[in-house]
Amino acid sequence: MVCDSLRADMIRPDTAPTLAALPGIAKRYSGCRGVFPSVTRVTSASIATGCHPGRHGLLGNTMVLDEGAGLVCLSVAKPEFRERMRKATGRTLLAPTLAERLAGHGGAVVMSNVSAGAAYFQDPDGFGHVYHSAGSYGPGLVPVPDAQHLDIQKGEAGDAVMTARFCDEILRERRPPLGVLWLSEPDYTGHKSPLGSPEHLAAIRAADRCVKRVLDTLRGLDDDTLLILCSDHGMETTARTISVDDVLIEAGLKAGRDSSDVVTAPNGTATVIYRARDAKAGADDLQRFLASQDWVGKLFMGAALAEVALPVNGPVVAAVSLRAENRPNEFGVWGYGDIAADLDGREFTGFGQHGGVGPNEQRPFLFVSGPGYRDGTDVAAPVSHVNIAPTVLAHLSLPWDGMDGTPLPAAG
Ligand SMILES: [Zn+2]
C-alpha cells in the first residue's frame, strides 16, 4: 500500500494516528531512501521490478524517446505512453514485473488513483489486473467489463472509495498472491498547497484513514498476509522554477524549443538531459555550463550517472538534482528546492515537489508487518524501493533472481 508523497517526518500522532502507532506491530525502515528521479512513475516501476531505473528502463515522469524523427520528451503520465514506448523501443520495461512473475501463481491485482502511467507501469504488459480511472484491464490488456471499471477522481473521496473496494473485493474475496493499493493523497493536495498547511494535513489524515481500513480488514482475516506500507518519495517546497530549455537555448547549447539536438526531461526538482549523437553542443560544453549554474545542486555525467543508477551508455548525457535549501516554510516544514519547469508550464512555487536527491524528497516511509516482521524494531540500514519486490517474492517462497534489490532484512 502506497500513500503517495508522504514524508516519513510528517507521520505524527496528530497528523497520522494509525501510521504513527504502527511501529508497535511492524518493522520500520528508517534508512529507506527513494530512487532517482524520486518521482511516482519511476518508483512504481522500481517497486514492480525490484530494479533501479538503469535496469528497468523507465527514466522519469517525463522521458525522451526517438519515435523516428529525433529525440522528443513525452509525459509518462498519459495512458498512451506505454504503447508509444513499445513502438519506439520494441518493449516497455526491460525487467520482469511482479505481475509477470506471479502470472502462473494466481496473478496480481493493482488499484491505483495516481497517474495512468504510474498505474500501468506496475504491469505494463498486462499479466494481471490493473484498475485505474483512465482504463481498467485484465490479463492480455483486455478491458474489464464496464461494471468493474474503477471510476473515481483523484483526492480524498476517490481514495476512500478505492480503498473500500480493495478491502471488500480484493482482500476479503479474491485473495490474489499480490494486491497493490496506491493512494493519490497526500501527493494530490501536496502539489497544490503548502506542506504542513491545513489542507495538506487533512490529506495526510485522509490517507491515514485508508490505512486504518486496510489494517482493520487484515485483522479480521487473521492470516499470514505480509503488509508493506510505504510512500514512493517525500516532498520539498518549491523555491524557484527554472526553464532549463530556455537557459540552454540562451547559452547556445540547444537550437530551439522543439529541437531534437539536446532535449531535457523535467522531473520536478530534477531534470534528465539527453543529447543526440550529432548535436552541436558536446558533453564537455554542457558540463562546463551546467557546473557554473546556481540552480544546479548536484550534477551527474558520464560514469557518475551510475551513482544515481541511470544508464551510462545511452542518450542520457546528464542528470541534475536542482539546488536544495535547508530552511522551514511558513508551517514549519523544512526543505526547499528549485524545480525544472514542467511540460505544461504549471506553477508550483510555495507548494510541494520532488524528483531529486534533496534530503526530504528522499525520505519516504516504509513499514512491513506480518510473518517475520512483527517485532516493532527500527532498521536503520540503507534500503529502498528495489527491496520491496524481493520481499514479496520471498514471502511467497518464490525466487527473486535478477533483481537489484534483496529481501528487506528481518533482523534489527
Ligand atoms: Zn508519487
Ligand 1 centroid–CA 362 distance in Å is 12
**Is the pLDDT higher at 222 or at 125?**
125
- Grid cell, residue 111, equals 488499484
pTM of the full structure: 0.97
**C-alpha cell at position 376:** 516493532
Distance 142 CA to ligand 1 centre (A): 27
pLDDT tens-digit readout, 303-316: 999 999 999 988 99
Question: Taking each helix axis from N to C terminus, what angle separates 40-49 and 388-395, rounded to the nearest 10 degrees?
Answer: 30
**Grid cell 514524508 — which residue?**
7
Distance 40 CA to ligand 1 centre (A): 4
Ligand 1 centre distance from Cα of residue 117 (Å):
11
pLDDT band at 64 (very low <50, low <70, confident <90, very high): very high
CA of 70 to the centre of ligand 1 (A): 29
Q: If you measure from the C-alpha of residue 99 to the centroid of ligand 1, how many angstroms do you get, rounded to a whole number?
A: 20
Mean pLDDT within 232-237: 98
On the question of pLDDT at 368 being above 80, the answer is yes
H runs (alpha helix) in 192-231: 198-221
Q: What rounded mean pLDDT belongs to the chain?
A: 96
Q: Are 157 and 169 in contact (CB under 8 A)?
A: no
**How far is ligand 1, taken at its centre, from the CA of residue 17, in Å?**
21
* Cα-to-centroid distance, 181 and ligand 1 (Å): 13
The number of angstroms, rounded, from the C-alpha of 343 to the middle of its chain's C-alpha atoms is 18
Q: Tell me what percent of the chain is helix, strand and coil, each rounded to the nearest 5.
A: 30, 25, 45
CA of 2 from ligand 1 middle (Å) equals: 9
Determine the distance separating the centroid of ligand 1 and the alpha carbon of 118, expressed in angstroms.
9
* Interval between CA 182 and ligand 1 midpoint (Å): 9
In the block, residue with C-alpha cell 525520505: 363
Q: For residue 307, which amino acid is it?
A: E
**How far is the centre of ligand 1, averaged over its atoms, from the C-alpha of 252 (Å)?**
34
Residues with CB under 5 A from ligand 1 (ion): 4-5, 40, 187, 232
pLDDT above 90 for 23: no
What are the cell numbers at 141? 490488456
Residue 228, CB half-sphere, CA atoms under 13 Å: how many? 24
Measured in Å, residue 115 CA sits from the centre of ligand 1 at 9
Of the listed ranges 139-143, 153-157, 223-227, 295-299, the least confidently predicted one is 223-227
Calculate how far, in angstroms, residue 83's C-alpha sits from the geometric centre of ligand 1: 22
CA of 4 to the centre of ligand 1 (A): 5
